[in-house]
Amino acid sequence: MMRLNRNLVRSRTCQTVLVFDTFKKLTPDLMHQFAYKNGSLHCENVDLAAIAATYGTPTFVYSRNTILADLDELQRAFAELDAHIAYAIKACSNGAILQLMAKRGVGFDIVSGGELWRIIRAGGDPSACTYAGVAKTEEEIRYALECGIYCFICESEDELRAINRIASDAGKQAPVAVRVNPNVDAHTHKYITTGTNENKFGVDISRIEQLYATIAAEMPRLRIRGLQMHIGSQLTEVQPFVTAVQKVTPLASQLKELYGIEFLSIGGGIGIVYDGCLASGNLDWWKEHPEQITIASYARALIPLLKPLGLRILLEPGRRLVGNAGVLLTRCIYEKRGESKLFKMIDAGMNDIIRPALYEGYHEIWPVREHNDDSVVVDVVGPICESGDFQAQNRSIPDVKPGELLAELSAGAYGSSMSSTYNSRPLAAEVMVDGDKITLIRRRQTLESMVADEILPTP
Ligand code: LLP
């Protein structure tokens, strides 16, 4: 399908920075700071070509000010509640990004001992961490208890009993909440839907009351602190959130009454725009998609439902805070005309961004040098020996030639954090841009460090 706005991308992006303020007011969720200036794609004030020249490709490039603007917008949207952001670090767990969030007073949603360790390393506060996940190990639970996390988000009675026992051994009380599964379809890709009866996550809403009663009666080392829900990721409409919150709030009220819970977490899942407008300056896109979720529409719909609870509200956004703030900078290496297709081969593979292969994810692909020629329909493919190794299929993009740089947009979330060394490809470098300043936040992995933990048996 021909995506929207390729023309607008060409004709309007130079103006994007100039219209930033007005534009941001009109369409707050639209902006990121990747735009063409003087014929070359920039991140804030830095030419992506300069980054490629210094750090090579593939490299993830993050715009610090896009992250901060998104964070600020979300914090302000929920200002009338006692709301706290727990950034879901699985979206992008680079220490520099965690450090940035921690300095802004953000807490964290974690799903492993490793994520907790990363937060502490980056100067984050463990007492601002909620710890979810269906299969926490004994070692992880002990570590989280020692660190003094804010709350375990528990997903089964077995897990609650394990935490109770481990807390008892450690002579501690463990703060807990249960993840309620409200059985609401999030209308997103099946692999990132979590809140229905088909999913492994949480405890069915009909069993929650009984489970809290069991905790109170039989697990003296647990301190009931809250209730949590998370129905899925990349939700592009507000309605499923509304339905789920409507189902869960009466329960939260009841648990407040019975056990004095202090918080309700409504999870993450706010979707971003992957195709269409982005920085193109196409205000019409938003008029044509009134149903598309924005931070403002999300807050407007949920605040009236949440406010009467008088509870602390936790938000666990991942993608919405970093997704549009990052791109993967890559180079076209070859092209090949097949029998039925034109392929552009790039130096980034599904090991760098697995989203197209795993979730049929769509990422816009823009040339770094601005093109005025006609577009061609191509498959953009990587070097991995798998047919699933593509970043775009049957996509109309400018006719970039071997040697040219490309940026794969909206790669800030679930890009580097899901990358691997498959095919023995070292992990990509990561840099953060702040105005005209570039900071290397992850060196490109070397071949030596890639195999550092492998052991060659002595012959
Ligand atoms: N809270 C919990 C309990 C979660 O499981 C998740 C995401 C989040 C918050 C953050 O969700 P977000 O705001 O980022 O939508 N790899 C997939 C997404 C997996 C999401 C897993 N859980 C992707 O690339 O689309």
Secondary structure in 3-state letters for 25-48: HHCCCCCCCEEEECCEEEECCEEH
Residue nearest to atom 24 of ligand 1 (CA): 414
45 burial level (CB within 10 Å; 0-12, 13-18, 19+): middle
CA nearest neighbour of 334 among 381, 367, 396: 381
Residues pairing with 345 in the sheet: 334, 381
CA nearest neighbour of 89 among 317, 431, 328: 317
Strands 46-47 and 59-63: unpaired
Residue nearest to atom 9 of ligand 1 (CA): 268
CA nearest neighbour of 100 among 326, 354, 353, 411: 326
User: What pLDDT does residue 18 have?
Assistant: 31
User: What pLDDT does residue 6 have?
Assistant: 29
3-class secondary structure per residue, 121-162: HCCCCHHHEEECCCCCCHHHHHHHHHHCCCEEEECCHHHHHH
**What DSSP character marks residue 247?**
H
Which of left, alpha, beta for 280 (phi over 0: left; psi -120 to 50: alpha)?
alpha
Q: Is any ligand 1 atom within 6 A of the Cβ of residue 355?
A: yes
Q: Is any ligand 1 atom within 6 A of the Cβ of residue 233?
A: yes
Task: Give the CATH H-level superfamily of domain 6-63+324-450.
Answer: Lyase, Ornithine Decarboxylase; Chain A, domain 1 (2.40.37.10)
Residue nearest to atom 5 of ligand 1 (CA): 230
Q: Find the 91 Cα to ligand 1 centroid distance in Å.
A: 7
Q: Find the 279 Cα to ligand 1 centroid distance in Å.
A: 24
Residue nearest to atom 8 of ligand 1 (CA): 268
Q: Find the 173 Cα to ligand 1 centroid distance in Å.
A: 29
Provide DSSP, 207-246.
GHHHHHHHHHHH-TTEEEEEEE---BS-B--SHHHHHHHH
State which of 74, 84, 233 you would mutate to test the pocket of ligand 1, scoring each by most atoms of that ligand within 8 A of its C-beta.
Answer: 233
CATH tag, 66-322: 3.20.20.10
For the CA of 354, the closest atom of ligand 1 is: 24
Q: Find the 230 Cα to ligand 1 centroid distance in Å.
A: 9
Residue nearest to atom 22 of ligand 1 (CA): 233
* E strand or H helix at 86: strand 83-88
Q: Is any ligand 1 atom within 6 A of the Cβ of residue 193?
A: no
State which of 319, 358, 416 you would mutate to test the pocket of ligand 1, scoring each by most atoms of that ligand within 8 A of its C-beta.
Answer: 319
Quote the pTM value. 0.92
Q: Is any ligand 1 atom within 6 A of the Cβ of residue 182?
A: no
Q: Could you read off the pLDDT tens digit of each residue along the chain, which spans 459 residues?
A: 233 332 222 222 323 333 333 334 444 444 678 999 999 999 999 999 999 999 999 999 999 999 999 999 999 999 999 999 999 999 999 999 999 999 999 999 999 999 999 999 999 999 999 999 999 999 999 999 999 999 999 999 999 999 999 999 999 999 999 999 999 988 777 777 776 777 788 999 999 999 999 999 999 999 999 999 999 999 999 999 999 999 999 999 999 999 999 999 999 999 998 886 554 556 677 777 888 899 999 999 999 999 999 999 999 999 999 999 999 999 999 999 999 999 999 999 999 999 999 999 999 999 999 999 889 999 999 999 999 999 999 999 999 999 999 999 999 999 999 999 999 999 999 999 999 999 999 999 999 999 999 999 998
Q: Is 129 a catalytic residue?
A: no
User: What pLDDT does residue 29 have?
Assistant: 44
Sorted by where each begins, the domain ranges of the chain are 6-63+324-450, 66-322
Distances (CA, A) of 367 to 133, 250, 320, 408: 39, 51, 24, 9
Q: Find the 318 Cα to ligand 1 centroid distance in Å.
A: 6
For the CA of 319, the closest atom of ligand 1 is: 14
Q: Find the 233 Cα to ligand 1 centroid distance in Å.
A: 5
Which of the following is catalytic: 43, 147, 151, 385? 385
Q: Find the 232 Cα to ligand 1 centroid distance in Å.
A: 7
Buried b / exposed e across 77-87, counting CB within 10 Å, b at 16+?
bbeebbbbbbb
